[in-house]
Amino acid sequence: MTIIDPLRPSSALLQINGVEFPPPSQRRATEKREGAYATALAQFDRAAQILNLDPGLADTLRSCKRELTVNFPVKMDNGEVRRFTGYRVHHNTARGPTKGGIRYAPTVDLDEVRALAMWMTWKCAVVNIPYGGAKGGVVCNPKELSLRELEGLTRRYTTEISSFISPEGDIPAPDMGTNPQIMAWIMDTYSMHRGYSVPAIVTGKPINIGGSAGRFEATGRGIMFTVREAYRTFGWDFDGISVVVQGFGNVGSITAQTAHEMGCRVIAVSDVEGGIYNPKGLDIPRLRRYVREHSTVQGFDGGDRITNAELLELPCDVLVPAATENQITRANADRIKARVVAEGANGPTTPEADEILMANNVLVIPDILCNAGGVIVSYFEWVQSLQQLFWEEDDVTHRLERIMVRSFHDVYEQSIRMNLDLRTSALVLGIGRVAEATQTRGLYP
Ligand code: GLU
């Protein structure tokens, strides 16, 4: 019951697009484990049906090409040796080397990494950059590790997956729980093994070792470029709109900052412990200074405390879920009052919630389009690292905006032509491009 297997239907399970969901009573406990992969497969099946993909091709695209699980020891500060588990999954290589972040979280498992790798494939195809999708993860709580332990874990994990990554084959990057310092350790470890510096092994590096200007800000900026373009396209007034952001990590905090700079009113933000709300608008630069000092938004005096559940249901123009998967489910979708949901996280909305939002006329800008700014600037960073030729931040940001705007229109115009919602349109565009590349390359041998 805890494993979703589309080949083994059971009447106790709810079926959506051929994928089974446990009944609501069991969903709570199993949602995290099953949610992301079940969502990714359900989305794929729907798009594959619309594209009328050949069943053999669909089955190939639906599966991850390579999956690596590693178990490895790390010496902890107290002298004990602890065993950790990590993963790296390559979903598809039809359009180029695989690309995708590494996640450090206590809840990571192989199914989640598979889902995230699959979404990377479609994401890179939607914005038309020459990559396939990958993802990695280590089961750990980075907040409970000392800096020395984090470095030891990262260097050993890098060593364990080193035959699986390369500048030509698979290029990791940051994701939840990882940051530029961790990318620097990955780059250093890989380079030590080679005997020379290999900056193109990883993106999201610090700028002083070959990272790109504007990479750290890329995902948040890309989200707001897309939201602004959606408003322009629909002829809606963007000036002073209210924005709510769930999550205040790299993606959430830069989204809030960019929204603030664009003249929006950011009325609520949150982190894992809860949120703060001020209908007049939060002072985001002051809040970011506060978070740098206290590592949490809790206790900030510029707004009232609210829970994450309350935050998602606030009346606002734009809601940006920028935390983790399965935040908007059928349990709360009906109470979402935003006009636009701009997905900063990967997979924050379940397929059931999608249906409810659509029925309520909430516009969802899907993750594989909306949060693609990160991997777009990762692509720029990789190109710069390979060429040892570096671009100005202005250049990076303008090129990012051009790709986000173009991709939004590609998805939007196709959605009109084919009468699809934006998520289905993005999936059809991305999966269609991967299918075409697969057919053009032909079957080996
Ligand atoms: N982890 C980010 C994502 O989910 C960025 C991946 C990358 O830059 O390769 O898109």
> Of these residues, 135, 143, 280, 337, which one is catalytic?
135
Residue from 391, 398, 346, 423 nearest 173 by CA? 346
φ, ψ dihedrals at 85, nearest 5°: -115, 135
Residue that the structure tokens 């950059």 belong to = 129
User: In this structure, what token pair is assigned to residue 33?
Assistant: 């484990």
In total, the chain counts a number of residues equal to: 445
Atom of ligand 1 nearest to the CA of 176: 1
For a ligand 1 pocket test, name from 219, 251, 324 the mutation site with the most ligand atoms within 8 angstroms of its C-beta.
219
User: In this structure, what token pair is assigned to residue 180?
Assistant: 């530029």
421 neighbors 358 (Cβ within 8 angstroms) = yes
324 neighbors 345 (Cβ within 8 angstroms) = yes
Helix or strand (DSSP H, E) at 415: helix 393-418
436 neighbors 408 (Cβ within 8 angstroms) = no
Residue from 250, 251, 249, 246 nearest 267 by CA? 246
Q: Name the amino acid, one letter, at 286.
A: R
Give, in degrees to the nearest 5, the angle at Cα 68 between 36 and 106: 50
Measure 375 CA to ligand 1 centroid, in angstroms.
Answer: 5
Q: Looking at ligand 1, which residue's alpha carbon is closest to its atom 8?
A: 375
Going by the DSSP 8-state scheme, the letter that residue 217 receives in this structure is T
Say how far apart CA 220 and CA 170 lie, in whole Å: 24
The helices-and-strands tally (H runs, E runs) of the chain is 14, 14
Write down the H helix ranges in 69-200: 110-126, 147-160, 180-194
pLDDT of residue 20: 39
Measure 374 CA to ligand 1 centroid, in angstroms.
Answer: 5
User: In this structure, what token pair is assigned to residue 278?
Assistant: 């001020």
Say how far apart CA 92 and CA 5 lie, in whole Å: 21
Say how far apart CA 82 and CA 122 lie, in whole Å: 36
- Kindly provide the b/e burial profile for residues 294-320, where b requires at least 16 CB atoms within 10 angstroms of the residue's own CB: eeebbebeebeebebeebbbbebbbbb
pLDDT 10s per residue in the chain (445 long)?
A: 233 333 333 333 333 333 333 433 333 334 444 589 999 999 999 999 999 999 999 999 999 999 999 999 999 999 999 999 999 999 999 999 999 999 999 999 999 999 999 999 999 999 999 999 999 999 999 999 999 999 999 999 999 999 999 999 999 999 999 999 999 999 999 999 999 999 999 999 999 999 999 999 999 999 999 999 999 999 999 999 999 999 999 999 999 999 999 999 999 999 999 999 999 999 999 999 999 999 999 999 999 999 999 999 999 999 999 999 999 999 999 999 999 999 999 999 999 999 999 999 999 999 999 999 999 999 999 999 999 999 999 999 999 999 999 999 999 999 999 999 999 999 999 999 999 999 999 999 9
Say how far apart CA 351 and CA 85 lie, in whole Å: 30
Residue from 194, 134, 181, 189 nearest 159 by CA? 189
Measure 303 CA to ligand 1 centroid, in angstroms.
Answer: 31
pLDDT of residue 375: 98
Instruction: Classify 171 as helix, strand or coil.
Output: strand
For a ligand 1 pocket test, name from 103, 116, 129, 175 the mutation site with the most ligand atoms within 8 angstroms of its C-beta.
175
Measure 322 CA to ligand 1 centroid, in angstroms.
Answer: 13
Atom of ligand 1 nearest to the CA of 116: 4
Measure 88 CA to ligand 1 centroid, in angstroms.
Answer: 14
Question: 413: left (phi > 0), else alpha (psi -120 to 50), else beta?
Answer: alpha
How far are the Cα atoms of 15, 42, 95 from residue 51, in angstroms, in the given order? 21, 14, 18
Strand ranges of the sheet holding 242-246, from the earlier edge strand across to the other edge? 304-306, 274-277, 265-271, 242-246, 318-321, 340-342, 363-365
How far are the Cα atoms of 206, 228, 387 from residue 199, in angstroms, in the given order? 11, 34, 10
Q: Which residues sit with their C-beta closer than 6 Å to ligand 1? A: 99-101, 173, 175, 203, 346, 371, 374-375, 378
Instruction: Tell me, yes or no, if 135 is annotated catalytic.
Output: yes
**Chain center to CA of 53:** 26
Domains of the chain and CATH, by start: 66-198 (3.40.50.10860), 218-370 (3.40.50.720)
pLDDT of residue 35: 85
Atom of ligand 1 nearest to the CA of 101: 1
